[in-house]
Amino acid sequence: MGEHMQNLQRIRAIAAHYRSLQGLRMLPWFLWILLFGAVNPALGLPQGRLDYQLLLIVPGLVVPWAVSRWIGAYYDRAFGQIEGLPPRNRALEALAGVTFVVVAFLGFLADSLQRWPVSLFGLVMAVAMFVQWWRSGRFLTHYPVTAALLAAISMLPLFGIPASGHWYTLLGGFAFPIMLGLVLSLGSVLGHILLVRSLKLLSQVKP
């Protein structure tokens, strides 16, 4: 009986968070963030020179969008489609989403002022992922991993990394976007692994 209830809870969790578990869908976007941050330092261009970054902003957006769509089609073929559970309170969900965007943007602006020895934007992202993990019934186990990595990276300046005490002075200000892209890419791969493992466990359940 206990195993049966556990399987039901796993099915409910997958149905409720099926989209979030399709980590490879977002991988092209996270790699785009990584490339966006790395292109100027790789070419030796200072912060503020957007010559090559503009190529990534406008026409470059088509590539991750197209790849993400193709990966979405792969998920539909390989795992099928699941109609997600509707949110219990749509208004509250919408308010939470808008609040996150506003707070994250304010954190980004605060980081750009270079007055804090931590990345407030990174910490906001970490807290949001931890909250999402908690709200999922602790099912999305890749979220706390990603949140812990983001929090640790965001607070590294407190320990003298980089030596200036600010991320915006390292690699022309692009060090943090590079690491953000790496961490989020790792999180998306872990989400895909969690989905595959969960579905494999359910496929082994005897009726």
Running DSSP on this structure, what letter comes out for residue 27? Answer: H
Is the overall model pTM greater than 0.85, yes or no? no
Instruction: Give tens-digit pLDDT for 44-87.
Output: 555 555 555 566 666 667 888 889 899 989 988 888 777 655 55
> How far is the C-alpha of 45 from the C-alpha of 190, rounded, in Å?
33
| pLDDT by position in tens, the chain (length 207) | 456 666 666 677 777 777 778 888 888 888 887 777 676 666 555 555 555 556 666 666 788 888 989 998 998 888 877 765 555 566 666 777 778 878 888 887 777 776 777 888 888 889 988 888 887 777 778 888 889 998 988 888 788 776 666 666 665 566 777 777 888 888 888 888 888 888 777 666 555
Instruction: Give tens-digit pLDDT for 178-187.
Output: 777 888 888 8
> How far is the C-alpha of 107 from the C-alpha of 51, rounded, in Å?
26
Q: CB count, 10 Å around CB of 171? A: 18
User: Which has the closest alpha carbon to 153: 173, 182, 131, 130?
Assistant: 182
> How far is the C-alpha of 82 from the C-alpha of 41, rounded, in Å?
42
Task: Please check whether residue 23 is in contact with residue 189, taking contact to mean a CB–CB distance below 8 angstroms.
Answer: yes
Which residues fall within 8 angstroms of residue 202, CB to CB, at 6 or more apart? 7, 10, 11, 14
Which runs of consecutive H residues, i.e. helices, occur in 22-167?
23-43, 51-57, 62-79, 90-112, 120-135, 142-155
Q: What share of the chain in percent tops pLDDT 90?
A: 2
Please give the distance of CA 8 from its chain centroid, rounded to a whole number: 27
